[in-house]
Structure 1
């Protein structure tokens, strides 16, 4: 039996060896036939062009409502052999090629087909140098001064001289903006710390008629909200067909700070202390450099919008360097608004822009970390008055346009620690000897009053809070009928006391400056103030 089983197995093995080549050949023939059948539809399809997805971006034509002007992205299928004439799915209008484009109908820009795994050619090589040898100091040496502005070319502040001249295509942030256009473009200064691109929206209205370019900037400090809404209300309600010139609005300059509800950049630097910036300096210096060159240098005039800082609030007011004639002329164009004659921090956006020949003022309004609709409306009225008085957005109002009120100012400080309780309101007129508030020690119940040494108006004040000795509590403005006297009168603060000429304090603003040593017992204007 065992022999029989062994013989059977041996026979099966022999048959397998004999017929294996035949089975392998048959399998090969079967696979070839299947492959031939499968390839026949493909060969038929090869006669027709394959479709390729192309992303086309179309800007809608300007409409009567600026708010209706947006950018829409449409994904269409275009064949390789025939130019595609596809329609916008929202409007039904065809997407235009470069040859079909006109000022009224801008071309549809097509995005490039890219490999997402590839490292993009971003400006990071300039903004973030890898070699320590490439890194320089934060601030670029700026030897210019505000007085040079008076000797330079004539500054264009008014649109009246070109009231009947048609406007032209203007170029901003690598985008051509035709006359009569309301649009939104992006300023992309760098990458955030996570490596994600930071795109800052920029609102633009290019009028139908020629005129100057006015820029509005807000949220250079990320926790200051009132200016953001001012820019939105102004830009969204401008009719480009009635506008003379161009208005550029940047609602949120410091997007990194805004996203964190912080005054500062993520590295605790104050962006408004690094203008005009440095392309190889710190993050703040690089952001300041790109913004200054990409946006600010395209402006004929600039209004930088701010609020009070560190739990302080301001009445709606202007800060302007009236020593510069063009800035003084610019400040005159606003309505009935207090104006403080201040040079400002040397590396603030305002001071750097003035040195670059751009008349610039700071508009202070309200307090940080809050949206105050009444304060926003005051700022909007001031900017609208500016647009009317310089002829950029004419109105048919028969009412006389009010003029600003000029002030010098000084801070009154707490002399004890405790909780501040104010007795006056923002904007209230006070007399010398009035009690503005008192500091109460919650442990001993000791009360220390803060008494006004001047007759004037409360232009700014601290909110009720815990304070330490030396804390700046009330900003008093002393009215000056003749603005020229503000320029001619020297202003210093000696040992914490105003001199006999009642010097002004101003908006240089950062608490970072307070610890700087006094020079010969004199605290300069730059060492005082808390706002812009």
Structure 2
């Protein structure tokens, strides 16, 4: 064992024994010096200096995790800012993205059994930015011409051709529609309770819900109606012409008569106008019937208005009303009997002209109804049984031109009394 150890431990002893020789001593010193220099140099190799001004900033992931992964190159946006589409439309807790047509629902209440009642809301959000036009119909559940107008107007729209959005509510008063009734189950007229109240009557609560959840998202409103209680209306726009923006809406509809009125307190049109949403009402036809001529007339006006507002591209149609009326009067019956008319809807009339006859069904005695005004038949009762005080003919008194600043004394006085056209209107 000792021989083995001595044999394999020769190096230290050999070196020790030979250190007296200068060549070996120099070699050993050089070896130790090389090792001493090489090891620290490898451990302390200086890093390349990088100018922080030229170094790419860390990604969000790197900042959050502290990792030093190499960031991916930034991608070019699909659409540049100057051609980017409009933002999404938020309505009734739904998101309607640009270039989208969607049907959503508004919950207006419950049945007597506690089942939720939801009315469809049709939305078209265009590819490009623009105003939001709202179309509402059947605030009175028996007025169905407007339902067809909304459905067909929305159906004809393609998001790619629209700059802005159109919100259509074909049946607001779903309660009345299901019963073919003008009114709500609480026997109230929904269109007398806007903007409504969250703690009021059933009608007030429904009005408040609809007004806050839908109407406040509109930039302009067209509310669609017909006559009521066996009456019919000439297609006509009702509007407060003292407001320049509303005047523009009324004229933009084009092709129909325009009637100046502020609107009855509690109507949707009046309430929307009071919070700064320009609003008009279209009256066309009679209730409980679908009249294609009136529907087509309404569609033509809606299309004209969308072009006027810049919602649709294309040549603008002639936006000239057929006539403008700043005052209207109802002619009422003074006898009971059967009404038979001698005039037609839209017909010009003269003062002293006979409009119809009331015949007593027992005695056959006839009583003529004579107009005290020059004007035009804007609305009329259908041939039917009447009683004294029944609103028979609605006469529009024509103005030479619309007045938005200067008005006649008669017109100003008319503003301060209850409007006489409330029978079967709006």
Q: Which range, TM-score by smaller chain?
A: 0.7 to 0.9
Instruction: Trace 1:49-198 onto structure 2 (pairs within 5 A).
Output: 166-198=85-117
The CA deviation string for residues 4-34 of structure 1, in whole angstroms up to 9 with x for no partner, is xxxxxxxxxxxxxxxxxxxxxxxxxxxxxxx
Deviation for aligned residue 1:189: 2.8
Question: In 1, Cα distance between the equivalents of 2:271 and 2:208?
Answer: 11
Corresponding residue SS for 2:86? coil
Is 1:286 the equivalent of 2:180?
Answer: no
Q: Would the alpha carbon gap of residues 487 and 330 (structure 1) be closer, same or farther in structure 2, given more than 3 Å must change? A: farther
Equivalent residue for 1:371, pick from 257, 280, 290? 290
Instruction: Trace 1:258-407 onto structure 2 (pairs within 5 A).
Output: 258-396=177-315, 400-403=318-321, 405-407=323-325
Is 1:525 the equivalent of 2:419?
Answer: yes
The CA deviation string for residues 123-170 of structure 1, in whole angstroms up to 9 with x for no partner, is xxxxxxxxxxxxxxxxxxxxxxxxxxxxxxxxxxxxxxxx97732211
Residue 217 of structure 1 is matched in structure 2 by: 136
Corresponding residue SS for 2:367? strand
Q: Is the 8 A contact 1:418 1:442 kept in 2?
A: yes
The CA deviation string for residues 381-427 of structure 1, in whole angstroms up to 9 with x for no partner, is 11111011221112246x64434531121111112110000001111
Deviation for aligned residue 1:489: 2.4
Residue 384 of structure 2 is matched in structure 1 by: 465
Any stretches of 5+ residues in structure 1 without a counterpart? 1-103, 105-162, 493-500, 506-521
Q: Is the 8 A contact 2:180 2:288 kept in 1?
A: yes
Equivalent residue for 1:488, pick from 401, 407, 415? 407
Question: In 1, Cα distance between the equivalents of 2:347 and 2:381?
Answer: 14
Is 1:474 the equivalent of 2:396?
Answer: no
Q: Is the 8 A contact 1:226 1:372 kept in 2?
A: yes
Tell me the TM-score normalized by structure 2: 0.77
Equivalent residue for 1:438, pick from 350, 353, 357? 357
Is 1:423 the equivalent of 2:342?
Answer: yes
Any stretches of 5+ residues in structure 2 without a counterpart? 1-77
Q: Is the 8 A contact 1:431 1:454 kept in 2?
A: yes
Residue 60 of structure 2 is matched in structure 1 by: none
Work out the number of aligned pairs and report it: 345
Q: Would the alpha carbon gap of residues 523 and 445 (structure 1) be closer, same or farther in structure 2, given more than 3 Å must change? A: farther
The CA deviation string for residues 203-262 of structure 1, in whole angstroms up to 9 with x for no partner, is 000011110000000000000000000000100010110101000000000001100100
Q: Is the 8 A contact 1:165 1:210 kept in 2?
A: no
Deviation for aligned residue 1:491: 4.2
Question: In 2, Cα distance between the equivalents of 1:278 and 1:310?
Answer: 28
Corresponding residue SS for 2:258? strand
The CA deviation string for residues 337-390 of structure 1, in whole angstroms up to 9 with x for no partner, is 111111111111111111111111110000011111111111111111101122
Deviation for aligned residue 1:524: 2.3
